[in-house]
Amino acid sequence: MLTLFHAPNSRSSAIVTLIDEMDIADRVDLRVVTVPRHDGSGAADPANPHPEAKVPALVHDGQVITERAAIILHLTTLFPDRGLAPRVGTADWGRFVMWLTWYQGVLEPVLIHEMAGLSHPYLTSTFRGSAEVKARLRAALEEGPWLLGGSYSAADLLVHSPYAWLPDATPDDDLIRDWVARCMARPARQRTLAADAARMAA
Ligand SMILES: N[C@@H](CCC(=O)N[C@@H](CS)C(=O)NCC(=O)O)C(=O)O
């Protein structure tokens, strides 16, 4: 019914961790595919149903779902009792959806623009920049200890993820660094790292 297409050490690793956090590995068929890597290794995999041959891609009853925020929303809605998201329709769920879409629509573009050395008034007016990202995260974590308050959720899993890959991009703020470290230390993420290392070595 559910199949996840995953490439080790990539954006799809967050979805593998989510599946572990939710304890639904027996409900999702995990297929490992290749993708082109920045070092020139890898290649698009004909077995990957993603329209751009990227990962992750989740296939549910033949329908292809891409974009991590969408996959997270879909899985946490399909399995609402697994504790990774607030109850659908509550105000907290609205904030949960806000963090996921803010990640895809703001945080990741801001990071990519910075890494690419891009700056333009259109980019700033649309996305703002790293100072505003830092302020948003800090304001939430001051209430904390997690983005939604007292409980870890899939919003923490997604939003912290670029800082786990790019520690130098982490905002210079102890509250944010401590939250990233707590997200990274979770046993499910450690298991994904170990499994991905084994897949890379295979
Ligand atoms: N917006 C997508 C981005 C997916 C993405 O860029 N995935 C990378 C893996 S880190 C990929 O598949 N790259 C291979 C390629 O560009 O061909 C998401 O968040 O799911």
In tens, the pLDDT along 171-198 reads 999 999 999 999 999 999 999 999 999 9
Give pLDDT, residue 175.
Answer: 98
Note the pLDDT tens digit of each residue in 76-122.
999 999 999 999 999 999 999 999 999 999 999 999 999 999 999 99
Ligand 1 in contact with 58 (CB < 6 A)? no
Write b or e for each residue in 72-111: b if 16 or more Cβ atoms lie within 10 A of its Cβ, otherwise e. bbebbeebeebebbbeeeeeebebbbebbebbeebbbebb
Query: Which residue of 5, 9, 11 sits with most ligand 1 atoms within 8 Å of its CB, as the best mutation to test the pocket?
Result: 11
Query: Which residue of 6, 35, 75 sits with most ligand 1 atoms within 8 Å of its CB, as the best mutation to test the pocket?
Result: 35
Give pLDDT, residue 92.
Answer: 98
Take residue 75 and report the two structure tokens written for it. Answer: 């899985």
Rounded Cα gap, residues 154 and 73, in angstroms:
9
Q: What is the mean pLDDT of residues 143-166?
A: 97
Take residue 183 and report the two structure tokens written for it. Answer: 């997200």
